Amino acid sequence: MKTALPMSLLALAFSVGGAAARELRPEEINTASIASIGTDKPAPGDPDPAIVRLQVLLDRAGSSPGVIDGLSGENVDKAVAGFEAMNNLPVDGRLDPEVASRLESNAPLVESYVVSAEDAVGLVDKIPEDYGEKAKMQSLGYTSVAEKLSERFHMGIDLVHALNPASQFAAGDTVWVVNPGPPREGKVKRIEADRKTGQVLAYAADGSLLAVYPATIGSEDNPAPSGKHKVKGVARMPVYRYDPKRNFKQGKNDKVLTIPKGPNGPVGTVWIDLTEPTYGIHGTPEPKLIDKVGSHGCVRLTNWDAEELAAMVKPGVVVDFVKGSSATRK
């Protein structure tokens, strides 16, 4: 369950390590060297400025690390492998000097942002876990301005607070955010959903790799489909029809429910419908759990990655479910 913490409780969370354990200064990220990754190790749970830098650079290059949080892990390694594949380099997911030199940039990666009154529009107090309670709500919006900004700039909420530990995120406040760059553009001809690596790969008509995303692709109890399917259409800010007889059982809910739209809805901000009934590629209310927790058979991306992909596809695009893509195979 997501709730907005009062400032007093947020300060307590920082003091006991419930959120980011230390303040992170913008210049630490802007002057960091990704070549230093692995040599300077922060305390467990603390964001590493160099890894933040690496994640932003990968995001800008079209190989998404998912949530930019400054923490090492499989999604970072997979994003490095995706970048290697996009640039016709040997694919091993390791940040070697060649990869680092191609990624590095002199442009600042952390920039200031002035909170607007519009940033507080559409917020809700909390998001219930139970689908029956969700169905009673008007919308499933963000629970705080900080959460809204975290998704806009592809950041983990803990990193937002680490960069802005004293901010109340009120209109007129200047806060620090990373700049992941503009969305990728192009026309996707074919998509691979790689169940082995937990990645979605988007290809252009000439066979070049346009973008790579970390993904949750089904689960043991609810496996994703196999073989080739096609994009049927795209729905933005979709409502979600919960049918326990057709899909899965959530809690004690045994009736069909209509879950309202919103970024914290079960399928996030976009649904890419597939020709295989009940299956799609969609967003998520919990971006930090991408490829960490299984889905109900569908392909789950962060909201921003799903939105980016949705803007590059049209009906008829082939979606191939594979076990081990040749592009990012190690």
DSSP for 83-120 reads HHHHTT---S----HHHHHHH--SS-SEEEEE--GGGG
Of 285, 278, 277, 325, give the one whose Cα is nearest residue 301. Answer: 285
**pLDDT value of position 206:** 97
The stretches in the chain having pLDDT less than 50 are 1-20
- Tokens for 74? 């499989």
**pLDDT value of position 16:** 33
**pLDDT value of position 6:** 35
Residue ranges of domains in the chain, CATH in brackets: 22-103 (1.10.101), 115-178 (no CATH), 190-322 (2.40.440.10)
**pLDDT value of position 9:** 34
Residues forming beta bridges with residue 318, ordered by sequence position: 190, 230
How much is the pTM?
A: 0.89
Q: Which is it for the CA torsion 147, 153, 154, 159, positive or negative?
A: negative
**pLDDT value of position 219:** 63
Torsion angle defined by CA atoms of residues 76, 77, 82 and 84, in that order, rounded to the nearest 10 degrees: 120
Residues 312-325 as b/e (b if ≥16 CB within 10 A, e otherwise) read: bbeeebebbbbeeb
Tallying the residues shown for the chain, one arrives at: 330
**pLDDT value of position 293:** 67
**pLDDT value of position 132:** 95
